[in-house]
Structure 1
Amino acid sequence: MTADDPVLSSVEERGGARVAHLVLNRPGARNAITIALAQGLRDALAVAADQADVVVIRGSGGHFCAGGDFHEVSRLRAEGPAALRTLFESFIGACDLIAELPVPVVAAVEGYAMAGGFELVQSVDIALVRDDAVLADNHANFGMIPGGGGSQRLPRIVGVPRALGHILTGDRLTGAQAAEWGIAYRSVPAASFEAELDGLVANLAGKDREALARIKALVRGGVRGSLADGLATEVENSLAHLAGERAGISRFTDRDRG
């Protein structure tokens, strides 16, 4: 890995846990998405899931991600649909992989998170955003349509009326509005953003990895199926987890005795 790679990856030890930091590294283009960045993100996510207990994605240069790189899209468009397909499928593959990883994936969102960057925010497990961040699916403003999952994920997160209103108008949202809509977990003032991010990561890193993996799989799988199937799966997972050696019942009983 070099400083010029489109995605930088590092792992730190924190309280006996490991935290992977993935940085979208095209600051001169506000971390706009190219094939190399999309493929680099997918590869880095796959490796990080084996190396760490929590993954944090953020952008370099004060912005999260401004969406697809216009120069790349123009070049691929001239080459034909097959070339463009590589860009879309590489990025969607990275976003889809997040749901399958057995560790929490956190987005630290500051500056612009537009188009594809906004779609990436919708794909993570937890998004922490600065109050003054700017988020939008602005494809329609450029005569384009979502290509990274926004037309499918956003309605599932905020509902059809709000999703259609937003995608069709391309209106911008602040970080605070994104949290109000349920797109982000929490919106934080700029002055306390890094401290809040550290606290969130420490919270996750201090929890049992297997428990977090089961919870994530239950929630992710449950929204794709029926309530009855989800409840049955939850019971089976609870029984299997409590039968394991790492289940945390002793923590509660020891605390209660104290």
Structure 2
Amino acid sequence: MTEPVLLAYSTAGGGRVAHVTLNRPGARNAITIELAAALRDRLAEAAETAEVVVIRGAGGDFCTGGDFHEVARLREEGPEALRPLFETFVGACELIAELPVPVVAAVEGYAMAGGFELIQSVDVAIVRDDAVLADNHANFGMIPGGGGSQRLPRILGVPRAMGHILLGDRLTGARAADWGLVYRSAPPEEFETAVEDVVANLAAKDRDALARIKHLVRAGLRGSLTDGLAMEVESTLAHLGGERAGAGIGRFTGRERS
């Protein structure tokens, strides 16, 4: 039986990189309960030993969202039968925020509906200029079920997010970058190099520093500015008290004197 999500490792920037691949290319990596559960499990496993996690889709597409065949089958059993599909996928997306390592999405081909929501969940997204992205739920009489109604307004602001979700227009990767939805886009001939450069950059950095930065940003968005500033001070003091931060300061001051 083919695994719905693959996990492999490589080295870049002197660190270990975990490659999590959605592996249903014949269905453009559409999400089933099995795939959502495997994604959650592979992400948790990858973060145990890797400095960076990269998510991408097999076969040239990122992910086209929920598998319509599975949704139709579960719907016949009643609304509650659909709950595991959405809750498991949302859980996998939520886990990304809690992992102590950066999670990068390498996006090409189609990234629609749930695939679009997965992009909103990662820490850094690199997309091909010609990728096709959209929250197209409304085009099929559906509503977002993987977090898009909550994350997209926080990323883009209400006017642009509301307009996009209601209209369901398709975006190119280049437009998504212009909107600030993703970190950057790259033309097809430069895409793999762009992904490799970002991953190597992250893998070479101090794991504890990146974990603290990620936590500060993620947790800070859930609270007030005052609480976030206080949390930042405490985290900075704790980090600077560690040996690895001391070594980093030593390298920095050494360069300053040279």
Normalising by structure 1, what TM-score?
A: 0.98
Query: Which residue matches 1:20?
Result: 18
Query: Which residue matches 2:249?
Result: 249
Query: In 2, distance between residues paired with 1:213 and 1:143?
Result: 39
Query: Which residue matches 1:55?
Result: 53
Mapping 1:173-192, distance limit 5 Å: 173-192=171-190
Residues 15 and 204, structure 2, Cα contact 8 Å, conserved in 1 = yes
Question: Between Structure 1 and Structure 2, how many residues are aligned?
Answer: 256
CA deviations 1:89-147 (Å, max 9, x no partner) are 00000000000000000000000000000000000000000000000000000000000
Query: Which residue matches 1:11?
Result: 9
Q: Which runs of 5+ in 1 are unaligned?
A: none
CA deviations 1:30-73 (Å, max 9, x no partner) are 00000010000000000011021100000011000001000000
Q: CA deviation at 1:13?
A: 2.7
Q: CA deviation at 1:79?
A: 1.3
Query: In 2, distance between residues paired with 1:179 and 1:15?
Result: 25
Query: Which residue matches 2:222?
Result: 224
6-15 or 17-26, larger mean C-alpha shift: 6-15
Query: In 2, distance between residues paired with 1:203 and 1:13?
Result: 12
Query: In 2, distance between residues paired with 1:152 and 1:126?
Result: 18
Q: CA deviation at 1:256?
A: 1.1
Q: CA deviation at 1:15?
A: 4.2
> Which amino acid in 1 is paired with 2:51?
D
What is the Cα-based RMSD across aligned positions, in Å? 0.8
Q: CA deviation at 1:238?
A: 0.6
Q: CA deviation at 1:209?
A: 0.1
Mapping 1:1-258, distance limit 5 Å: 4-247=2-245, 248-258=248-258
Query: In 2, distance between residues paired with 1:30 and 1:15?
Result: 31
Query: In 2, distance between residues paired with 1:186 and 1:43?
Result: 28
Query: What SS does the aligned partner of 1:147 have?
Result: coil
Q: CA deviation at 1:82?
A: 2.0
> Which amino acid in 2 is paired with 1:244?
G
Q: Which runs of 5+ in 2 are unaligned?
A: none
Normalising by structure 2, what TM-score?
A: 0.98
